[in-house]
Amino acid sequence: MALFGSFALILALVLSFYSMAAGAFALYMGPRADRLAETARRAGIATFIAVVAAAVALVVSVLNNDFSLEYIREHSNIALPTAYKFAALWSGQEGSLLFWALLLSAYAFVVRVKYRVDVKLTAYASVILAAVQFFFLLLVNFPAPPFALAKGTIPADGNGLNPLLQYPEMVIHPPMLYLGYVGMAVPFAFALGALIMRYPGEKWIHITRRWTMVAWLFLTCGIFLGAHWAYSVLGWGGYWGWDPVENASVLPWLTGTAFLHSVMMQEKRGMMKVWNVWLIFITFLLSIFGTFLTRSGVVSSVHAFANSPIGSWFLTFLAIIFAFCLFSYIKNRAHLKSENKLESLVSRESSFLFNNLVLLASCFAILWGTLFPVLSEFVQGKKVTVGPPFFNNVNIPIGLFLLFLTAVGPLLAWRSTSFDSVKRNFAIPAALALLTAIALIAGGMRPWEEAANFYALMAITLSVLVFASISSEFIRGARVIRGHTGIGWAASLVQLTRRNTRRYGGYIVHYGVLVICIGFAGAAFNQTNEQELGLNDSMAIGKYTLVCRKYTQDDTPNYGTELAILDVYENGKKLETMYPERRFYKSSQQPSSMVAIRSTIQEDLYLVYAGKNPDNDKPIIKAHLNPLVSWIWTGVWIIVIGTFVCLAPNLPAALAAPRKPAAGQAPSASNGNGSASSSSSPPRDTVEVGK
């Protein structure tokens, strides 16, 4: 299998080079080289098949416990459950680079198969994707080969998978994150291709809109699955530690989010063309940068792979991409002239612009804090680490301002909004937000006592503002449809959403964001208690009492375990039994916590088996009470639903509910949109509902 895998990788490298070189030459030659262009496209498709063959070879080798391969010896063992053996594909440096190459090839495969959407633009994008593929295939063929043979005698068993990775979410978190990182290569390739060929118009944005949203969704899911994994496995009671590799995943997410918003300005008003092109360039560069951070060992992180020379490869690649983007921009910048200018600071455009500036400010602050140890060492010769307080102090106010913009943006008009219009749209949402703040203070919140309380109050108040402003958009739109068609409220809301999935799906995503923000606000009220618990001993945290019923040990082929059995009581009534556990993995000789969590809408009771007293063998239990954490995971589900709505095509006008017949008039066959619903005729004095 090693021979077959290595051969498939060399073949993929050659094919990707051919796809890049022949594709570029064919574009230079023009229509005379159409046959050559077709072979380049097919070579790109063939690259995918070769990379799949290599990945299959590696998975088969892992499943067969082929410890003659260095990679498998390092990342698997015989007793490892099959799902985790499969996850070994991306658990080490070499395998995860192969996985990167596989996902990139899969994305590029779809782009090349759907090339008829715009043959020439796709040809440019295909060449750029082939260049990125070539780089990753160079890595897995030379500095990080996954099929390298183990030195010395072949061991009977492997070293096993890192215990921190032996958790169900770890089987899906890295693929999600990688799908997000890699997916950004597609809009990047189209944007760069459109710039190089001076593509007239904004069709490249239409072509890549779904690609960008899919990549963004994967990145979002990957980030939050990582947060959930950290919460459930690392046992420190939190979900986000501002670890450099966590930060690296957020950077392209922030710029990608900015891009998703600002492209609307380009589509609607032909503005911000330079900004958008650079946003997607930076998003892709940050995706590669995140991969570099994880692999180079340049920063210390719980996630990072060991120090390796691969970092210099990534730095060189980053420099080449940046230089190429800059060159293409300078050469073709005249093509990116805006068709309109910002007319007023109180407009939808300016809210998008502020949203972008705020997201980029957050991105820069996180990048600065992440690289500060490296920069300080370079300048002062001493490594100075920046901790969570820095990231929180900078990002919480930024996040609150962003939440404010999320509330304001949808209520503003394009071009300019009058004071009358502001008053009309903001009165009710602002009043509701104000009432919420008053109710929270009356309920005992003291924002003047601690900054955390102030931020929590602001987060909840602004979340209510967002909720009210988005809801008013839904209600107003549904009211128009209801008046127009006579259907009920629920059907009107569904039809409104289906008529403009992008807009109303986006609002659903914003609902998810506000739910997540409320979940974050809960962290201001976290409680912790730690205690040694003997048989029938009890400890209290918040409204709960924990009673130790038993502490015991167990043994499996993969790991040995110590666990405590704790009954949870509230006001004397037993709620449930919880089992915090500490495992010791035999192959890797490493411990790992299995946290017990009781999650409700109000709070999480989070129990950690922190160790045992060596004198009396009694377990030491650390209990955390974390309010509103479940809101974060719920918010992510809402974001997923919202993004799926955005991805769905709009309901064709012909399928819309018929217009309500006027009194004494028979229902007509018309869909109620009038002739002006056709995009080829001007919509004078007509209303196409929901559009």
Partner 1 sequence: MIIAACALLFASLFVYVFAPVANLAHGEQKSRLTYLRERKDVIYENLRDLNFEFKAGKFPEPDYIAMRAGLEDEAAQVLAEIDSLERASAQIR
Residues that bind partner 1 (CB under 8 A): 1, 3-4, 7-8, 11, 15, 18, 31, 34-35, 37-39, 42-43, 45-46, 49-50, 53, 115-116, 118-121, 123, 199-203, 267-268, 270, 411, 413-418, 420-421, 424-425, 476-477, 479-480, 676-677, 679-683, 685-691
Exposed / middle / buried, residue 306 (Cβ in 10 Å: 0-12, 13-18, 19+): exposed
Residue (470 or 563) nearer to partner 1, CB? 470
Residue (206 or 446) nearer to partner 1, CB? 206
Shortest distance, CB of residue 4 to partner 1, whole angstroms? 5
Shortest distance, CB of residue 116 to partner 1, whole angstroms? 6
Helix pair angle (168-183, 273-296), 10° resolution: 140
Shortest distance, CB of residue 477 to partner 1, whole angstroms? 6
Residue (340 or 590) nearer to partner 1, CB? 340
Residue (92 or 477) nearer to partner 1, CB? 477
Nearest to 87 by CA among 63, 69, 104: 63
Shortest distance, CB of residue 426 to partner 1, whole angstroms? 11
30 — alpha (psi -120 to 50), left (phi > 0) or beta? left
Residue (57 or 223) nearer to partner 1, CB? 57
* Torsion angle, alpha carbons of 421, 425, 426, 429, to 10: 180
Q: Rounded to whole angstroms, how far apart are CA atoms 525 and 474? A: 33
Helix pair angle (168-183, 244-269), 10° resolution: 40
Residue (200 or 572) nearer to partner 1, CB? 200
Shortest distance, CB of residue 429 to partner 1, whole angstroms? 13
Residue type, 315: L
Shortest distance, CB of residue 144 to partner 1, whole angstroms? 22
Instruction: Give the Å distances, CA to CA, from 126 to 1, 41, 47, 314, 326.
Output: 30, 7, 12, 21, 20
Shortest distance, CB of residue 3 to partner 1, whole angstroms? 5
User: CB under 8 Å to 185, separation ≥6 — which residues?
Assistant: 104, 107, 108, 129, 132, 284, 287
User: CB under 8 Å to 314, separation ≥6 — which residues?
Assistant: 288, 289, 291, 292, 295, 296
Q: Rounded to whole angstroms, how far apart are CA atoms 459 and 200? A: 43
Shortest distance, CB of residue 672 to partner 1, whole angstroms? 13
Residue (44 or 222) nearer to partner 1, CB? 44
Nearest to 146 by CA among 73, 85, 78, 86: 73
Q: Rounded to whole angstroms, how far apart are CA atoms 677 and 654? A: 10
Longest dimension (CA), the chain: 93
Q: What is the DSSP string of 171-204?
A: HHHHHHHHHHHHHTHHHHHHHHHHHHTT--SSHH
Residue (204 or 281) nearer to partner 1, CB? 204
* Length of the chain as a residue count: 691
User: CB under 8 Å to 641, separation ≥6 — which residues?
Assistant: 508, 512
Residue (198 or 574) nearer to partner 1, CB? 198
Shortest distance, CB of residue 253 to partner 1, whole angstroms? 28
Q: Rounded to whole angstroms, how far apart are CA atoms 120 and 199? A: 10
Shortest distance, CB of residue 118 to partner 1, whole angstroms? 8
Residue (35 or 573) nearer to partner 1, CB? 35
